[in-house]
Amino acid sequence: MHNTLTRENLKKLQEELEYRLTVKRAEIAKEKMEAAAHGDRSENAEYKEACANYRENDNRIQYLMNMISTAKVIDDEQIDKSVMGIGSKARVKFIEDDEEEIITLVTTLDLDPENMCISIESDLGKALSGKKAGDIVEVNAPEDHYTVEILEIL
């Protein structure tokens, strides 16, 4: 599976990975050494916490490496502004509720449902992707089925 990212998203992931591999790992290693110096590790809460921090950091490193290695990078020049895609903002109407919303299709990294920034990987995002103003789409979510009309692409 490819993770669709903008150049900006990719840069942020690369910067975080570099930070976690160099600075964060060194900080955690120092914490582990200091905690280990306090004696019996089996009853040493500081040591156990440092080990947990190490595992958490390592898991995030693995996640970042996977995201970067499977990234499909979208450049601004590649985006067709006449159809819905990453970065598209549109006024849509949820037919069943007769409600209008302004939504923005974003990568999973920029997801912000409270501000109607919808992941292009979501059921709604997939249904809208590649569609034009005036199109009506059926959204088949696991727990819901609804219809959305694209009123205009902003």
Tokens of 151: 């009123």
Kindly state whether residues 12 and 42 are assigned to the same domain: yes
Number of domains forming the structure of the chain: 2
Residues 95, 147: contact at Cβ < 8 Å?
Answer: yes
Tokens of 59: 């898991």
Q: How confident is the model at residue 2 (pLDDT cuts 50, 70, 90)?
A: low
Residue 79 lies in a domain: no
Q: Which residue has the tokens 């080990």?
A: 51
Residue 80 lies in a domain: no
**What is the residue range of 130's domain?**
88-153
Kindly state whether residues 9 and 70 are assigned to the same domain: yes
Alpha-helical regions (H) of 3-98 = 7-19, 25-36, 45-69
Q: How confident is the model at residue 1 (pLDDT cuts 50, 70, 90)?
A: low
CATH number at residue 106: 3.10.50.30
Give the whole-angstrom CA distance, residue 38 versus residue 87. 52
Domain final residue, candidates 33, 50, 74: 74
Which pTM value belongs to this model?
0.69
pLDDT at 107: 87
Residue range 7-36, pLDDT digits in tens: 888 999 999 999 999 999 999 999 999 888
Q: Is the confidence at residue 121, as pLDDT, over 70?
A: yes
What residues pair up with 93 in beta bridges, in sequence order?
100, 149
% of the chain surpassing 70 pLDDT: 97
Q: How many residues does the chain have?
A: 154
What residues pair up with 89 in beta bridges, in sequence order?
104
Under DSSP, the state recorded for 120 is T
